[in-house]
């Protein structure tokens, strides 16, 4: 007879099978279950919380579990002896078939467990994703055993064999329940099988110990005598204690717990509960402890326990220490951050609220409570946030809320009425957030709201201000277009009325006699009313506008029907629907009333402060229109007048822009002055207007005036100057220019307005007058006045350059007989011819002047020695002794007596030069006429054979080398002078001495220049140029002496007096040398 699996279970007894499975679970630690072919759990032992409390309660994870079970069942139906399945939930299950007499009747299932240490971060993320409590979930995960696949297969097969054997024997016992012998035999076989299986379990325990040893979690085994029988390596690694350090719980307590009270509490706990734990009288539960490590570091641990029934033939308790120090530290940091965030939230000046999906207020900060005018969050919760929002915004807030609950952000401006009925405007920035322990698909709303009540109050004013700015720009544009004043004012009034709906605006203008207000602009006011106020008297109590113009201050009439100022106008005003009038006087920059600006309203109204301010601004705009329009009209009249003047003036009127120096206006009269059209001149550069010299003069004058202006001299704006401008054909035209500089607000010149007048005729007349004053009319030679001027200039030049000059004083011989015999006409002709002959032998740099009837003076600036002057005088004498033949054939014979005077040897001023020249001429005439005579100064005659040049302290310059060379050169010059003064000496000897002296001087000059360069002498270049000039002049005179053009005595005189003595005098006189050489003492130089 066929016996079913359930019948066998009933026969054997489900309780016995359950006890058997429980015992194996306690011994091995792996959960198990017997599942029949219909999928029903017959018995199970130790099924983990992870499955019961979590995975089977979540739809997603439960689905994974069901799929796991289905896979295991399918594998069993394929006659698989053993199968393993890694569940998507991260756990491992195994299964094996149970056969009764070859029939597959059930399955043995083991699990859940891990084959390697779990990745806790994965399960933590899984808990958050599935909305599990992370801490409880991780705690359940950590309870699961870690078993290798090999061991799990052994355990599963062991379960399968035990159940199969038990079931098989149960079936046999049921079939042969009366055959005791067979039953005993079966029991014996069962015992043998059990013994064999227990041996297998011992081997499995050894493997288990290896697994425990490899565990990274500290573990301790303690027996009933409180002896520590085992510590795994992780324990020693984490806490530092070895088995020798803590042989028993007492030693462990002594080392691990330093605080006496804490140690006593822990010891008492174990003393009381250890026996109860071992013998199952008290359930094991997790404990939290703080452990003192061997190195002194304290660790927070979570203590878990499990009973091991057989460990070396005794029951022990396994204590597992899970290090949670880092977790506690992290929690402390999180707590600190939460406190910090809470403090920020409390300090946040904006209203911050958290509203859940049901529009229930969960959190609000103090600023939010103040905003809603409540003291406690409950006051808002009782009525709901929505009830504080004004009706016209409630629907918008609902839409925003729905948007946020779907995960989108949003912004909304709305108004609320607080508990005390205060209206506030809020700008709400709403953001979706997820709160703890909530479904991940459901969002709450974080609403941060800023109080914008003040902004809303000013927005209306701002819109009015923006309109005012726009209107200001519009008016400036219209003014720039030079439109009539009434057109601009009408457009201004219309724009104001468009901005301030329900109002009328008007402008009344003060008449020329300052007695009445006349119509200016009122595009929208009724025509009857405009005519009524088109000539309103200015006076106290005459309407709003008449009174405002009289007082010069605003007049506000809020109710025309009752105000006394409107008694004369009330009936007409009310008939035209006017109930209020605000009037503001329009004043110019000097405070004079130009008119009034008024706003009319159809209802009684008192203006706000902002409206009064706007009234003043509109009046200022009207002032701008009135003043600019009137100014433009006056300017156009003035321009017309100026154009009339400019176009009909012979003077050229022009405007020059600064700093570009371009003409922006030139009057048409420039055509008559310069030959150019006015447009052409304005296109020209300033460089085409003036000659180069005049351009430089103009720029210098402009620079001087600008400097005076910069220094604060306002008179520098105006000036005049004489210049020369260029005609189109290229010739220069003298002009007299008067100018006025135009300044900007900063006092900087931006334009020059000027007028230029042709002064050619005046200049010609001045030239004639000047020529008559300075030139002889007969010979056209300089007269005595110009001679004295040029002589003084020449003396100044010689003093500056330390050079010489000569003057010839000429008197004509036998001139009086010519006048007496042939008349004054012949005498005049002769004087002209004399002038021309003298000019023919002179250079351009020389000057010949007529100083009397037949007396002439010649200035020779390049005559450095007397021989030069004698040569030129001789040429003049020879020219004048030649006969003069008149056109009539008459031959006139004259001659000349010439006196020569040298500067500065003979005289150092113009008076003495003229006097001494006249004396020399006198001696020439006295000596027989037609002669040349050098002026002889008795004080400068040299006594032969006793001449010697002496060294004076005034020659010293302060440098020893230079002074020594100066003394040496002076001695050689003295020797040369003595040779030249002795007639018996050979001329060649004197010239050789001169050559040696010049070589010494050149060597000294070069040495002197080196010394001065080493002292950084500032005037070194000028010093070198003087040296070169002196040596070149000496060389030139030497060459002239060799050609016989001058005497050797004259050459020697020049070298000694001008080259040597003058050089010594200058070096000694220039005190700069002393200060220069005193800086550093240098007595010798290698050159």
Q: How far apart are CA 220 and CA 707, in angstroms?
A: 102
Q: Which of 510-519, 652-661, 869-878 bottoms out in mean pLDDT, i.e. has the lowest?
A: 652-661
Rg (CA), the chain: 66
Per-residue pLDDT, averaged over 921-927, amounts to 92
Asked if residue 1074 has pLDDT above 50, the reply is no
The pLDDT tens digits for 525-552 are 999 899 988 889 999 999 999 999 999 9
Other beta carbons within 10 angstroms of residue 802's beta carbon come to: 15
The set of residues, in sequence order, having a beta carbon less than 8 Å from that of 712 and lying 6+ positions away, is none
Residue identified by tokens 């219909």 is: 38
The mean predicted confidence, pLDDT, of the chain is 82
Q: Read off the pLDDT of each residue in 110-137 and give the average, rounded to a whole number.
A: 84
pLDDT digit string (tens) for 278-326?
A: 777 777 677 888 899 999 898 998 888 888 877 777 888 888 888 888 8
* Contact predicate 201/28, CB 8 Å: yes
Taking the C-alpha atoms of residue 5 and residue 171, their distance in angstroms, rounded to an integer, is: 9
Residue 66's pLDDT band, with cuts at 50, 70 and 90, is: confident
Tell me the domain boundaries of the chain: 5-209, 215-329, 348-451, 494-620, 649-764, 775-940, 953-1077
- Region 267-271: mean pLDDT is 84
pLDDT tens digits along 359-405: 788 888 898 898 899 988 888 888 888 889 988 888 999 999 899 88
- Give the model's pLDDT for residue 946: 45
In whole angstroms, give the CA distance from residue 191 to residue 875.
171
Output the pLDDT for position 984: 47
| pTM confidence score | 0.31
Class assignment of domain 348-451? alpha beta
Q: Give the model's pLDDT for residue 169.
A: 74
Query: What pLDDT digit, counting tens, does each position of 949-977 carry?
Result: 677 666 777 777 777 777 777 777 777 77
Task: Domain 953-1077: give its CATH code.
Answer: 1.20.120.50
Q: Tell me, what's the pLDDT at 552?
A: 93
**Tens of pLDDT, residues 271-283:** 888 888 877 777 7
What region does 577 belong to: left with phi over 0, alpha with psi -120 to 50, or beta?
A: left
Q: What is the average per-residue pLDDT within 170-178?
A: 64
Yes or no: say if 374 and 417 are a contact pair by the CB < 8 Å rule.
no
Instruction: Among 154-168, 344-358, 1051-1065, name the one with the lowest average pLDDT.
Output: 1051-1065
Contacts of 246 (CB under 8 A, 6+ apart): 228, 231, 252, 255, 256
Q: What is the pLDDT of residue 562?
A: 94
DSSP reduced 3-state for 503? strand
What is the reported pLDDT for 942?
44
Would you say 625 and 588 are in contact if contact means Cβ atoms under 8 Å apart? no
Percent of the chain whose pLDDT exceeds 70:
86
* 434 Cβ contact partners less than 8 Å away, ≥ 6 residues apart: 440, 442, 443, 444
Average pLDDT (759-786) is 83
Q: Return the pLDDT at 529.
A: 92
Which range is least confidently modeled, 169-178, 219-228, 371-380, 730-739? 169-178
Which CATH fold topology does 215-329 show?
A: Beta-Lactamase (3.30.450)
Between 358 and 788, the higher pLDDT residue: 788
pLDDT of residue 439: 58
What pLDDT band is residue 179 in, cutting at 50, 70 and 90? Answer: low
Q: Name which residue leads in pLDDT, 632 or 594.
A: 594
Give residue 931's pLDDT: 95
Band of pLDDT at residue 1079, cut at 50, 70 and 90: very low
Looking at 3.20.20.70, 3.30.450.20, 3.30.1490.190, 3.50.50.60, the CATH number of the domain 649-764 comes to: 3.30.450.20
Tell me, what's the pLDDT at 702? 84
pLDDT digits (tens, 9 = 90+) for 822-847: 999 999 999 999 999 999 999 999 99
Which residues sit opposite 598 in a β-bridge? 506, 583
What's the pLDDT score for residue 1071?
41
> Could you tell me which residue, 82 or 572, shows the higher pLDDT?
572
Cα–Cα distance, 1007 to 965 (Å, whole number): 10
- 17-31, 215-229, 321-335, 874-888: which is most confident: 874-888
Per-residue pLDDT reduced to its tens digit, 434-469? 765 555 567 888 899 998 888 877 777 777 777 777
Instruction: Give the residues across from 322 on adjacent strands.
Output: 302
Residues linked to residue 805 through DSSP beta bridges, in sequence order = 903
Q: How far apart are CA 964 and CA 805, in angstroms?
A: 32
| Residue 110, pLDDT above cutoff 90 | no
DSSP 319-362: EEEEE-HHHHHHHHHHHHHHHHHHHHHHH-SSEEEEE-TTS-EE
Question: How far apart are alpha carbons 285 and 523 in whole angstroms?
Answer: 95
- Residue 175 has phi, psi (to 5 degrees) of -80, -30
Average pLDDT score over residue span 149-163:
82
Residue carrying the six token digits 């430089």: 696
Closest CA to 857 of 896, 904, 814: 896
- pLDDT, tens digit (0-9, with 9 covering 90-100), for 646-701: 666 678 888 988 888 888 888 888 888 888 888 888 888 887 888 888 888 888 88
Nearest to 399 by CA among 426, 390, 408: 408
pLDDT band at 87 (very low <50, low <70, confident <90, very high): confident
Let me know if the fold of 215-329 is the same as that of 348-451. Answer: yes
| Confidence bin at 1085 (pLDDT 50/70/90) | very low
Looking at residue 755, its pLDDT comes to 86
What is each CA distance from 802 to 916, 951, 1031, in whole angstroms? Answer: 21, 21, 14
Instruction: Domain 494-620: give its CATH code.
Output: 3.30.450.40
Q: Of 454, 380, 461, 382, nearest to 417 (Cα)?
A: 380
Which is the CATH superfamily of the domain at 775-940?
Answer: Reverse transcriptase/Diguanylate cyclase domain (3.30.70.270)
Q: pLDDT by residue (tens digit) across 223-247?
A: 888 899 889 898 999 999 998 999 9
**Are 605 and 557 contacting, i.e. CB atoms less than 8 angstroms apart?**
no
Q: How far apart are CA 180 and CA 173, in angstroms?
A: 9
Q: How confident is the model at residue 178 (pLDDT cuts 50, 70, 90)?
A: very low
Which pLDDT score is estimated for 1087?
24
* CA atoms in the 13 A half-sphere facing the CB of 984: 2
1075 pLDDT more than 70: no
pLDDT band with cut points at 50, 70 and 90 for residue 811: very high
pLDDT at 471: 82
């Amino acid at each position: 007879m066929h016996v079913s699996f359930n019948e066998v279970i009933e026969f054997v007894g489900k309780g016995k099978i359950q006890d058997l499975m429980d015992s194996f679970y306690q011994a091995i630690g792996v959960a198990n279950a017997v599942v029949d072919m219909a999928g029903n759990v017959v018995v199970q032992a130790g099924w983990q919380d992870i499955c019961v409390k979590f995975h089977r309660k979540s739809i997603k994870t439960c689905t994974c579990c069901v799929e796991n079970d289905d896979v295991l069942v399918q594998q069993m139906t394929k006659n698989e002896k053993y199968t393993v399945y890694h569940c998507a939930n991260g756990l491992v299950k195994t299964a094996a078939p149970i056969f009764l007499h070859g029939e597959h009747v059930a399955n043995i299932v083991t699990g859940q467990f891990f084959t390697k240490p779990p990745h806790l971060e994965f399960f933590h993320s899984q808990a958050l994703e599935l909305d599990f409590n992370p801490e409880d979930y991780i705690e359940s995960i950590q309870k699961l055993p870690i078993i290798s696949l090999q061991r799990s297969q052994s355990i599963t097969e062991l379960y399968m064999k035990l159940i199969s054997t038990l079931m098989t024997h149960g079936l046999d016992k049921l079939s042969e329940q009366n055959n005791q012998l067979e039953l005993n035999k079966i029991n014996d076989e069962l015992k043998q099988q059990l013994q064999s299986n227990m041996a297998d379990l011992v081997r499995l325990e050894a493997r288990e110990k290896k697994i425990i040893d490899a565990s990274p979690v500290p573990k301790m085994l303690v027996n009933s005598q409180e002896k520590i029988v085992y510590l795994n390596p992780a324990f020693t690694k984490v806490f530092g204690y070895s088995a020798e350090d803590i042989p028993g719980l007492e030693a462990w307590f002594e080392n691990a717990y330093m605080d006496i009270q804490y140690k006593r509490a822990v010891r008492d706990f174990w003393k009381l509960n250890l026996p109860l734990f071992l013998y199952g009288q008290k359930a094991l539960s997790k404990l939290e402890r703080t452990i003192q490590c061997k190195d002194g570091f304290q660790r927070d641990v979570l203590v878990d326990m499990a009973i091991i029934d057989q460990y070396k033939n005794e029951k022990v308790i396994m204590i597992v220490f899970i290090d949670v120090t880092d977790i506690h530290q992290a929690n402390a940091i999180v707590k600190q951050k939460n406190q910090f965030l809470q403090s920020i939230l409390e300090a946040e000046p904006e209203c911050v609220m958290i509203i859940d999906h049901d529009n229930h207020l969960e959190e609000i900060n103090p600023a939010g409570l103040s905003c809603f005018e409540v003291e406690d969050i409950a006051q808002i919760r009782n009525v709901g946030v929505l009830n504080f929002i004004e009706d016209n915004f409630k629907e918008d807030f609902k839409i925003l809320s729905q948007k946020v609950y779907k995960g989108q952000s949003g912004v909304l401006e709305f108004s609320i009425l607080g508990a005390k009925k205060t209206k506030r405007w809020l700008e709400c920035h709403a953001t979706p957030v997820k709160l703890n322990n909530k479904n991940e698909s459901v969002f709450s709303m974080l609403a941060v709201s800023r109080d914008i009540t003040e902004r809303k109050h000013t927005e209306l004013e701002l819109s009015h201000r923006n309109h005012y700015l726009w209107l200001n720009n519009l008016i400036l544009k219209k003014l720039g277009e030079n439109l009539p004043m009434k057109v601009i004012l009408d457009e201004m009034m219309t724009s104001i009325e468009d901005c301030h709906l329900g109002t009328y605006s008007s402008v009344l203008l003060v008449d020329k006699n300052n007695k009445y207000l006349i119509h200016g602009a009122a595009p929208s006011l009724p025509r009857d009313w405009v005519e009524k106020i088109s000539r309103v008297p200015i006076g106290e109590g005459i309407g709003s506008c008449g009174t405002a113009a009289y007082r010069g201050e605003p007049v506000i009439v809020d109710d025309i029907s009752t105000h006394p100022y409107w008694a004369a106008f009330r009936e007409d005003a009310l008939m035209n629907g006017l109930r209020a009038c605000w009037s503001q006087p329009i004043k110019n920059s000097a405070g004079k009333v130009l008119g009034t600006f008024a706003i009319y309203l159809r209802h009684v109204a008192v203006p706000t402060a902002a409206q009064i301010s706007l009234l003043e601004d509109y009046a200022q705009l009207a002032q701008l229109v009135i003043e600019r329009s009137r100014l433009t009209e006056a300017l156009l009249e003035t321009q017309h007048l100026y154009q009339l003047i400019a176009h009909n003036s012979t003077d050229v009127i022009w405007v020059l822009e600064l700093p570009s120096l371009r003409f922006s206006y030139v009057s048409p009269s420039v055509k008559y002055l310069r030959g150019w059209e006015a447009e052409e001149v304005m296109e020209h550069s300033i460089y085409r207007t003036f000659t180069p010299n005049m351009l430089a003069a103009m720029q210098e004058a402009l620079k001087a005036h600008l400097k005076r202006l910069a220094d604060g001299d306002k008179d520098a704006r105006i000036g005049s100057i004489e210049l020369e401008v260029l005609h189109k054909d290229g010739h220069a035209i003298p002009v007299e220019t008067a100018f006025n500089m135009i300044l900007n607000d900063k006092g900087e010149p931006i334009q020059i307005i000027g007028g230029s007048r042709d002064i050619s005729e005046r200049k010609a007349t001045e030239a004639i007058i000047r020529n008559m004053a300075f030139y002889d009319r007969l010979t056209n030679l300089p007269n005595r006045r110009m001679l004295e001027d040029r002589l003084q200039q020449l003396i100044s030049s010689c003093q500056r350059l330390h050079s010489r000059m000569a003057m010839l004083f000429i008197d004509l011989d036998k001139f009086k007989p010519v006048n007496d015999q042939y008349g004054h006409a012949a005498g005049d002709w002769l004087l002209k011819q004399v002038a021309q002959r003298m000019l023919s032998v002179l250079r351009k740099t020389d000057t010949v002047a007529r100083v009397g009837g037949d007396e002439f003076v010649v200035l020779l600036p390049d005559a450095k020695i007397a021989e030069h002057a004698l040569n030129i005088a001789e040429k003049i004498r020879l020219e004048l002794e030649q006969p003069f033949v008149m056109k009539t054939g008459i031959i006139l014979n004259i001659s000349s007596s010439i006196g020569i005077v040298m500067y500065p040897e003979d005289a150092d001023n113009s008076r003495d030069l003229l006097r001494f020249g006249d004396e020399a001429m006198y001696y020439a005439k006295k000596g027989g006429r037609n002669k040349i005579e050098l002026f002889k100064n008795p004080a400068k005659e040299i006594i032969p054979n006793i001449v010697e040049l002496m060294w004076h302290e005034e020659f010293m310059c302060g440098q020893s080398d230079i002074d020594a060379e100066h003394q040496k050169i002076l001695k050689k010059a003295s020797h040369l002078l003595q040779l030249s003064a002795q007639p018996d000496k050979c001329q060649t000897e004197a010239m050789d001495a001169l050559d040696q002296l010049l070589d010494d001087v050149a060597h000294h000059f070069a040495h002197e220049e080196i010394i001065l360069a080493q002292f950084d002498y500032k005037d070194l270049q000028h010093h070198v140029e003087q040296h070169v000039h002196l040596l070149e002049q000496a060389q030139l005179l030497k060459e002239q002496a060799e050609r016989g053009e001058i005497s050797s005595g004259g050459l020697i005189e020049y070298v000694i007096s001008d080259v040597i003595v003058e050089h010594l005098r200058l070096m000694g006189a220039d005190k700069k040398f002393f200060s220069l050489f005193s800086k550093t003492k240098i007595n010798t130089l290698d050159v």
